[in-house]
Amino acid sequence: MSFLAATAHITSSTPTSVPTEVPTTVLTATATSSLTSAQPASLPAVGLGLRREYVDLLLQHHYPEIGFLEFAPENWLPFGGVLAEKLQLLAQRYPLVCHGLSLNIGGPDALHQAFLADLAQFFQRVPVRLYSEHLSFTASGGQLYDLLPLPFRSDAVCHVVERIKQVQALLQRPLVLENISYYTPVAAQMSELDFLLRILEQADCQLLLDVNNVYVNAVNHGYDPYAFIQALPSHRIAYCHVAGHYQQHETLLIDTHGSAVCDEVWQLLAFTYQCHGVLPTLLERDFNLPSLADLTTELHQIQQLQQRVR
């Protein structure tokens, strides 16, 4: 089964949403060596995912536990006026990073040039230190509104590496990729770890290490999360994510970002620091949103783990 056949197999049972614009031209695949080998900007030790419900509070009060904020650019690109003003005010208080949802870095469709042009303009207006995306695909003949797993295959590695170079050339900034949670492998010829390592090496790019996703996948697919973490190259890790998940069964975890981080993920994060040094770490919470005061309790836990390892 080829890469395109494998992705078609994944999407054949996925409802197709409203199609996005498919570009008629192809981006240049040439990226300068200085760009592809560039290291992302350094970040403070602890960060929080930015939700609109928290914007006014973050502008009205000082939260010393929050070192940086992360947000999905897709949620801010269409907006101007008051929202744009508030984002600029937040940028004066906190370093900002973007974590995208719809780049479709591994998809079979051509890269969406209009979206990339919008991103490039957005990054010129807003001081974003880092741009990360999911190592997945999100469109195939139309936007799928999900983060679907790629086939762990050599041809898929080549496909993704080429697209990373195209994106970096257009945006003129490094692209950082996140390991995703997934619930079934598709036409796999290698392990998830080997697939990830090959892409990082061949694309000469950085990793957003989602520790919760490693734990979720380890439970769901029966591998050792500690061995997975230990095998990662330290110099490739830009920063980390932690989040909560839902336990549907003892052997099935669902990555939800809708609850507190569990003890097992805290332990895996501590091990990550022991293996790779203390890394900037961001807490994700996307629904069942608690108060900011409650979230700062988890931010304190990140700080305590970092201090303990130091």
Residue 28 has pLDDT above 80, yes or no: no
Name the residue type at position 297. Answer: T
Return d(Cα 305, Cα 17) in angstroms, integer.
42
Domain with 26, as residue range(s), is: 3-309
256 or 17: whose pLDDT is higher? 256
Q: Give the CATH number, domain containing residue 93.
A: 3.20.20.150
Q: What is the pLDDT of residue 226?
A: 98
How many domains does the chain contain in total?
1
138 CB burial (10 A radius; 0-12, 13-18, 19+): buried
24: confidence class by pLDDT, cuts 50, 70, 90: very low
Residue 4 has pLDDT above 70, yes or no: no
Over the chain, what is the mean pLDDT?
Answer: 88
Mean predicted confidence (pLDDT) in 169-181 = 97
83 or 23: whose pLDDT is higher? 83
Q: Give CA angle at 164 (207, 140), nearest 5°.
A: 105
To the nearest whole percent, how much of the chain has pLDDT over 90? 74
Kindly state the DSSP code that residue 61 receives in the 8-state scheme: S
| Longest pairwise C-alpha distance within the chain | 55
**pLDDT tens, 78-100?**
878 899 999 999 999 999 999 99
Residue 301 has pLDDT above 60, yes or no: yes
Residue 11 has pLDDT above 80, yes or no: no
Q: What is the pLDDT of residue 35?
A: 55
Token pair belonging to 209: 């290490």
Residue 38 has pLDDT above 60, yes or no: no
The answer to whether 114 and 80 have CB atoms below 8 angstroms apart is no
The answer to whether 95 and 68 have CB atoms below 8 angstroms apart is yes
**pLDDT tens, 236-266?**
999 999 999 878 777 778 888 889 999 999 9
119: confidence class by pLDDT, cuts 50, 70, 90: very high
Residue 21 has pLDDT above 70, yes or no: no
Residue 193 has pLDDT above 70, yes or no: yes
Mean predicted confidence (pLDDT) in 151-174 = 97
Return d(Cα 76, Cα 279) in angstroms, integer.
27
Nearest to 104 by CA among 54, 63, 65, 141: 141
Q: How far is CA 187 from CA 3, 8, 140, 196, in A?
A: 8, 11, 17, 16
The answer to whether 175 and 123 have CB atoms below 8 angstroms apart is no
The answer to whether 97 and 69 have CB atoms below 8 angstroms apart is yes
Q: What is the pLDDT of residue 25?
A: 30
Q: What is the pLDDT of residue 254?
A: 83
Beta strands 245-249 and 176-178, pairing class: unpaired
Lowest mean pLDDT among 79-83, 222-226, 286-290: 79-83
Q: What is the pLDDT of residue 310?
A: 84
Collapsed DSSP state (helix, strand, coil) of residue 17: coil
Q: What is the pLDDT of residue 22?
A: 28
Q: What is the pLDDT of residue 17?
A: 32
To the nearest whole percent, how much of the chain has pLDDT over 70? 86
Return d(Cα 295, Cα 65) in angstroms, integer.
10
